[in-house]
Chain A
Amino acid sequence: MLTLGPISFLQPWLLLGLAALPVLYWLIRATPPAPRNVRFPALRLLRDLQPQEETPARTPWWLLVLRLVLVGLIIIACAGPVINPAAGLPGSGPVLLLVDNGWSAGRDWPARQAHLSRAIDAAERAGRPLLAAATAADGPGPPPTISGLMRPADARGWADQLEPRPWPADRAALMAAITEMADHGGLETLWLSDGLDDPAAADLAQTLQRLGRLTVYLPEAGDLPLVLDTPQTEGGDLVFSVRRPTAAIEGVGVVRLAGDDGRILARQPFTIAAESDGTDVRLSLPAEARNRAALATIEDLEGAGSVVLVDERWRRRPVAIVGAAPTDSSQPLLSETYYLDRALAPFAEVWYGGLDDLLERGPAVIILPDSGQVTPDEGDRLDAFLAEGGVVLRFAGPLFAANPDALVPVPLRAGDRTLTGALSWTTPQPLAPFPPESPLAGLALPDDVLIERQVLAQPGPLVNARTWARLADGTPLVTAERRQTADGTDAGWLVLVHTTAGADWSNLPLSGLFVDMLRRIVALSAGVADTTDAVALRPLSTLDGFGRLGEADAAAMPIAAGTFAETLASPTHPPGFYEAGETRRALNLSPAIGPLEPLALPPRVATQGYAIEAELDLLPLLLAAAMALAIIDLLASLALRGLLAIGPKRGATALVVALFLIPVLGNLSPAQAQGQSLSPENLALLAANGTYLAYVVTGDPEVDAISQAGLDGLSRVLTQRTAVEPEGALGVDPEYDELAFFSLLYWPITQDQPTPSADAFARLNDYLLQGGTILFDTRDAGIGRINEADLRRLTAGLDIPPLSPVAPDHVLTRAFYLLQTFPGRYADEALWVMDADETINDGVSPVIIGANDWAAAWAMDAVGNPQFTAVPGGEWQREMAFRFGINLVMYVLTGNYKADQVHVPAILERLGQ
């Protein structure tokens, strides 16, 4: 192979043909162009006429050059030129392909496959046999080993079947296999590594180096694998940490938390600083959302290491109430546990029973309602529980007041304090605002919560610091003490509420504040492992090497219940969900991954990156160029012989074609944002001359572009499927644009949108009164109600009739398609329309409110490809989103016509009689 710069020739001896070019030059030059043949009747008259000057007919010089280039191209093409040829594998011994295919390989697997394929090609060219080895075990069976000598075709089959595995690589086992391998002599090794170090790596590299040449492929610093660790709960937040080998460059990404149904619950971008090996990512989300979480991933990063499965441990906290379940009581309203149960059930799992049984089950929080004295033995066990991070919540009551014990955060006075009654001067006390350092700070205080009786704390130096809530007169209502573990780190909380959990002493348990307070307190607890009675957990679904959750690996083995907590992900137990009865537990990969270090190689090891410069075979290109030149040559020859008539007529045709092409080319990037730069007059002119869908310009360029693209996409689909053929979408600003032209106004809610002025509100109200419809889209999928406050702010001045969720028989469900859901980019169910009883605007709702980010689902680019993924339903959900859009436009355009259609059978029947 001959190499000239980036070009190599596979058959360089064919280039000798170039030497023949001068001969060709002489031949072509000596041969005049062939005369043109003409039959001519008056030949007799021409017979003895002599042209006045007979110049020698020579081929013109440019045709000569053209032909020489043509022949030169063909000769060069035959020599097989290749740009960026696959590196050759000089030498004669076998080639060992060593691939790291553990969890870390999923990130750039296609690049590894490509390199494998190139290496096999190169070995085939060099006629060398191959050996293959992967560092991760295929399954629970034997450890990774090294194959025998293979032909390239077999090696290709091996490479095609190779997959990344969701467990760590076992280089030590492979090391052993290599040590035992027969000596093939002149072994050359290509190690497609993941760039991570482990104890066996250096040994492996040295051994391979001793056997022959070693080339190690290393990922770029930015492509090193990331690991998402299992989260810690801090308050209501989930804190994930992202780990990586220390690298000199910044790393960015997004952690996404999704529910069982694939719905996105939270997204949080993160940045790993340069020279750092990780960062924490805090996901704040409501308890309801957290309880739905199933899967946390680093977005767009394939590989099992970037996936964390979330199970009950991070979800509903088991809360143990010492006492009988409220259903056992015939008079539930008198039972304290009834109020606790009602308050806790929405966000926690509630257990009942005796203290010993409950401690066995491992709750996160133990609640002691007014239960009398805690015995010293019970106190010790609760202390131990506190030291492990549990939360103990006690409530006062008559028994508690009468039987003081030691398990309290602050010393108490004996007895209790009555704030009301015939013999009392005082009145029931409301609550004072919560101290700012209290975990309860920020909760809204209802006016009507009054405390009538409480137990009193003994004044002392600690009381103030330990008080989380006070009455208006300053006496503590909730006190708490942070307990510590034996080695002095912070552990669980002991919390005392100085009044009852029932309605005897106060009406606090009847208020929403009680629920919020319990939620905050429960959130303080660490997740505590629960256990199950089952013997073993069998695999339910497992991750593959790309981090995709799928059917359980057939080879995955069940895990004994007792050892689940200590079990690490391995070929025997791949990461995934394991279940036993009702219990579902997640086995995550990250605990099995030790500290991440960049691969340390012995000196004098050749390294290479994974970036692929595609091998480009120039043969087809050169032959195509030669063919083009041949056609030009043919045309030129014809022209020289006068056979190519380019008359004025054909010239004109070409000119016309060119004139048509120019605007077509110019239109390839059509101006999209036409609506945003129009003056009100031009907008009115445009909108009056055609049907346009309109959206409110929010001022956020990204949102506005999505609105424009979304309504354009909807217009396109409407034109395809229905008689409605909108011209497109226009952006309007209610501050100064006339709205009367539009039947539908799409209004995405953003947080930075300015509140409309009084004029604008008047204009919008006028619009609504005259039959317009506004679709408000909070675009937050109903999760967290992020944009709800802004929706309130932006609609504060609008005359909105009473709203209710869309009824199953609402016109929107059958204006064109029969629908029962109204998904957009998200699939939240709530869509609010005017009450069915209202009769303004012929029953067409002036306002429709939802949260599904419809414009994003409708948005298409210039060629009609969707721009955003619809979650969780994918393309089917997008189709439903379009159907909703069509129904919506039909609804606003036809009013109650479809509603009246229901009466048609009745009317026909009456007419018939």
Chain B
Amino acid sequence: MTAATLHGRAEALASTLPPLLVEAERVAAVVAQGVHGRRRVGVGESFWQFRRYEPGDPVQRIDWRQTAKRDQPFLRQLEWEAAQTVYLWRATDGGFRWRSTKSTPTKADRAGLLLLALASLLNSAGERVALLDGDSPPGLGRADLSRLAMDLQRTEAGDDSPAAALPPNRAVQAHAAMVLFSDWLAPLPAIEAALASFQSKVEHGHLVQILDPAEVDLPYAGRIRFSGFHNESALTLARVDTIRQAYQERIAAQQEGLRALARAAGWQLHIHRTDQAPERALLSVFQALAGAGAV
């Protein structure tokens, strides 16, 4: 899937949902930098207006250049901005680029689609989005979104080592939100370690587990030789149908552990199957973002 088509599909998906409005008040109180110009004076980075000095204003706020031009002292006031930076990431390892049948997309494709749709929605809501493993800083606007799609395309062709199944340890802005797409099939301690570095900075974290239906149901029967993606030794099983129950229990246990892990960090876990409609997962993540007031 080329960047352009992926981008287009993501936009189409995003357009089916109303733009997400950011709950700005809470953000305004705690977050210095923001996204939304509030069209009023406040804390922000952009220039808003010059105002005459009034008694009681802190002296440090006097804009000396303007004051020098005129007779009276002027204050330089900035626009109040309220914004959230959302970091997005999806896994790219070999196992994630797999699908069981041709009727479903690979997990990586589905994750890319969800990621871009989410980015598009966030973008139209005026949030800054960035790829966790991308080189660009969080940005705003359509151009940024396109750049993000290009970045995503680039990472898709990139690393498919087992390490790519877990998020990289990158520096992130404080109070950012984070949405991570993977199948989260790695051992739980490894996941916990990978997430630990983010926990102090990230306000709202979301894990999205994307699974192929075959990974949930294990629909195989008879004599099967299973091989992995990372030079693991193959496993030949006779009568796979007899172990389906045990396998499903293991998957459930993995998900349970994942959920516990997320809860402990104040994060949320979303589970999505590639044979389900992508809107459902998108909505779920969105609502979680909005409900938590993260955005």
Contact = CB atoms under 8 A, between A and B. Distances in A.
Interface of A: 32-33, 35-47, 49-55, 57, 640-642
B229 interface: yes
Given A55-B238, A57-B238, A46 B254 contact: no
B51 interface: no
Given A41-B98, A45-B247, A46-B237, A52 B242 contact: yes
Interface of B: 94-96, 98, 183, 185, 187, 212, 214-215, 220-229, 232, 235-240, 242-243, 246-247, 250-251, 254
Given A39-B229, A40-B228, A44-B185, A53 B223 contact: no
28 contacts: A33-B223, A35-B225, A36-B220, A36-B223, A38-B226, A39-B226, A40-B214, A40-B228, A41-B96, A42-B251, A43-B227, A43-B228, A44-B185, A45-B250, A45-B254, A47-B235, A50-B243, A51-B237, A51-B238, A51-B239, A51-B242, A51-B243, A52-B242, A55-B238, A57-B238, A641-B223, A642-B220, A642-B224
Contact of B185 (A36, A45, A52): A45
Given A54-B238, A57-B238, A46 B243 contact: yes
Contact of A43 (B96, B187, B235, B246): B235
Contacts of B229: 39, 41
A38 B220 contact: yes
B223 A35 contact: yes
A49 B221 contact: no
Given A35-B236, A51-B237, A642-B221, A43 B226 contact: yes
Contacts of A39: 98, 226-229
A43 B186 CA distance: 11
A52 B243 contact: yes
A53 B239 contact: yes
A41 B185 contact: yes
Contacts of B243: 46, 49-52
A51 B235 contact: no
A50 B224 CA distance: 13
Given A49-B250, A51-B242, 13 more contacts: A36-B224, A40-B215, A40-B227, A41-B95, A42-B185, A42-B215, A42-B247, A45-B250, A46-B247, A51-B243, A57-B238, A641-B223, A642-B224
A32 B239 CA distance: 13
Contacts of A52: 239, 242-243
Contacts of B240: 51
Contacts of A38: 220, 224-227
Nearest to A48: B235
Secondary structure dominating the interface of B? mixed
Contacts of A49: 237, 243, 246-247, 250
Given A46-B235, A53-B239, A40 B222 contact: no
A315 to B, nearest CB: 86
- 4 closest A-B pairs by beta carbon, nearest first, are A41-B95, A43-B228, A35-B225, A35-B223
Instruction: Among A37, A44, A641, find the residue whose CB has the most chain B CB atoms closer than 10 A.
Output: A44
B35 to A, nearest CB: 37
A45 B228 CA distance: 11
Contacts of A640: 222
A41 B185 CA distance: 8
Contacts of B227: 37-40, 43
A54 B237 CA distance: 9
Contacts of B228: 39-41, 43-44
B230 to A, nearest CB: 9
A49 B98 CA distance: 22
Instruction: Among B94, B226, B239, B247, find the residue whose CB has the most chain A CB atoms closer than 10 A.
Output: B226
Contacts of A57: 223, 238
Contacts of A51: 237-240, 242-243
A40 B226 contact: yes
A506 to B, nearest CB: 110
A33 B254 CA distance: 34
Contacts of B247: 42, 45-46, 49
A44 to B, nearest CB: 7
A167 B238 CA distance: 85
Contacts of B242: 51-53
A641 B222 contact: yes
Instruction: Among A33, A41, A49, find the residue whose CB has the most chain B CB atoms closer than 10 A.
Output: A41
Nearest to A40: B226
B100 to A, nearest CB: 8
Contacts of A45: 185, 247, 250-251, 254
A45 B96 CA distance: 15
A804 to B, nearest CB: 79
A47 B227 CA distance: 11
B75 to A, nearest CB: 60
Contacts of B246: 49
A56 B215 CA distance: 27
B134 to A, nearest CB: 25
Contacts of B226: 38-40, 43, 46
A98 B246 CA distance: 87
Contacts of B215: 40-42
A53 B238 CA distance: 9
Nearest to A44: B185
A123 to B, nearest CB: 59
B254 A35 contact: no
